[in-house]
A = this chain, B = another copy of it.
Amino acid sequence: MLVWERPEPPNRPVPALLNRERIVRAAIHLADADGLEAVSLRKVATALGVGPMRLYSYIAGKEELLDLMVDAAYAEIRPVGHGWREVLRSLAETTRQAAHEHEWLADLLGGRPQLGPHVLARGEAVVAALDGIDVDDILPVATAVDAYVIGAVRREIAERRAERATGMDEKRWQASLGPYLERTFATGRFPVLATVVRDAAHLDADHTFRIGLDFLLDGIEAHISR
């Protein structure tokens, strides 16, 4: 039986100090502060003042804890707006924003099927807002937008971490594309790529995300208005 429908254990006679929400909050707190690899059952349990094995009454293992974390993060995501395009754009932007506030989310996105209540509620909201569209188009369209967002956000966060690791700010990093790329391009092994990277205008992360999203939405528009 999956976490989502398995009830929490009944309250102990003494009002329980522990529940899933508290556990997930503690885990998210750790992940927000020090990244996903800082989340261990021991650290979560310690933060709650209990032994590690206590957690196994509430979750079946670490994977389920991560699933619960993702679902909790999705609780903040609710697309708004009027018309399918505004809603899909809002879906993408709010998801991206959640990943910016919780970078660990990027590590988890797309890693396992998400079937938690908040994810489903988000799905419900999206589908409801897309009611003008042919029923057979709704899932492919929403799936495509989600796929783009997952990939784009992961790349973005990965790049941001790499920048942070070098200690360079975004400007200097983008301008030189990192000393390594400079040296590599100097070898002449990637001539076309080198000129494009050097000559083309460089967009910031926001812009890059939006331009790709616009490509996708334009393609969707052409399809559904046909």
Q: Does A196 sit within 8 A of B, measured CB to CB?
A: yes
Quick check: B219 and A144 within 8 Å, CB to CB? no
Q: A interface, by DSSP: helix, strand, loop or mixed?
A: helix
Looking at the assembled complex, report how far the CB atom of A68 sits from the nearest CB atom of chain B, in whole angstroms.
15
Interface size class of A (residues with CB under 8 A): 35 or more
Query: Which residues of A96-125 have CB atoms within 8 Å of chain B's CB atoms?
Result: 107, 109-113, 115, 117, 120-121, 123-124
Query: Which residues of A150-172 have CB atoms within 8 Å of chain B's CB atoms?
Result: 150-152, 154-155, 158-159, 161-162
Bound-state CA distance A139–B205 (Å) is 12
Please encode chain A, from 193 to 215, with 1 for each CB lying within 8 Å of some chain B CB and 0 for all others.
Answer: 10011011111000010011011
Q: How many copies does the complex hold?
A: 2
Q: Does A143 sit within 8 A of B, measured CB to CB?
A: yes
Please name the 6 residue pairs, one residue from A and one from B, whose CB atoms are nearest each other, closest first. Answer: A144-B212, A150-B151, A110-B154, A219-B219, A151-B151, A147-B151
Interface CB pairs A-B, < 8 A, 30:
A2-B180, A5-B180, A110-B155, A110-B158, A111-B154, A112-B158, A115-B180, A115-B184, A120-B189, A123-B190, A124-B191, A127-B192, A127-B193, A127-B196, A128-B192, A136-B200, A138-B200, A140-B208, A140-B211, A143-B155, A144-B152, A144-B216, A146-B151, A146-B155, A150-B151, A151-B152, A151-B154, A217-B219, A219-B222, A222-B222
